[in-house]
Amino acid sequence: MSKESPARGLAKKAESALESFIFASRWVQAPIYVALILAAVAYAWKSVQELLHLMHDFNGVPESTIMLGILSLVDISMVANLVNMVVVGGYVTFVSRIDFEDNTDRPDWLDHINANTLKVKLAGSLASISAIHLLKSFIAITELTNGQAPMSSNQEKVVFWQAIIHGVFLASMILFAYSERMQRHEDH
* Whole-structure pTM value: 0.72
pLDDT at 49: 92
158 domain residue, yes or no:
yes
1 domain residue, yes or no:
no
| For residues 47-59, average pLDDT | 87
Number of structural domains, the chain?
1
Q: Which domain holds residue 111?
A: 28-187
What's the CA angle centered on 165, arms 159 and 166, to 5 degrees? 85
Alpha-helical runs (H) found in the chain? 6-24, 30-55, 63-84, 90, 115-146, 153-187
Confidence of residue 149 (pLDDT cuts 50, 70, 90): low
37 domain residue, yes or no:
yes
2 domain residue, yes or no:
no
| For residues 42-61, average pLDDT | 88
171 domain residue, yes or no:
yes
pLDDT at 147: 59
User: Is the model's pLDDT at 39 over the cut of 80?
Assistant: yes
| For residues 8-21, average pLDDT | 92
Confidence of residue 3 (pLDDT cuts 50, 70, 90): low
Three-class SS state of 91? helix
User: Is the model's pLDDT at 19 over the cut of 90?
Assistant: yes
**Cβ proximity of 71 and 138 under 8 Å:** no
Task: Give CA–CA dist 151/139, Å, rounded.
Answer: 12
| For residues 59-76, average pLDDT | 85
More confident residue, 182 or 187: 182
**Cβ proximity of 183 and 117 under 8 Å:** no
Task: Calculate the CA dihedral of residues 31, 35, 36, 41 and round it to 10 degrees.
Answer: 140
Neighbours of 161 (CB within 10 A): 10
**Cβ proximity of 78 and 131 under 8 Å:** no
More confident residue, 86 or 153: 86
Burial call 9-40: b when 16+ CB within 10 Å, e when fewer: eeeeeeeeeeeeeeeeeeeeeeeebeebeeeb
Confidence of residue 48 (pLDDT cuts 50, 70, 90): very high
Neighbours of 147 (CB within 10 A): 7
Q: Which amino acid is at 132?
A: I
- Looking from the CA of 46 toward its CB, the CA atoms found within 13 Å total 15
19 domain residue, yes or no:
no
| For residues 151-170, average pLDDT | 84
15 domain residue, yes or no:
no
9 domain residue, yes or no:
no
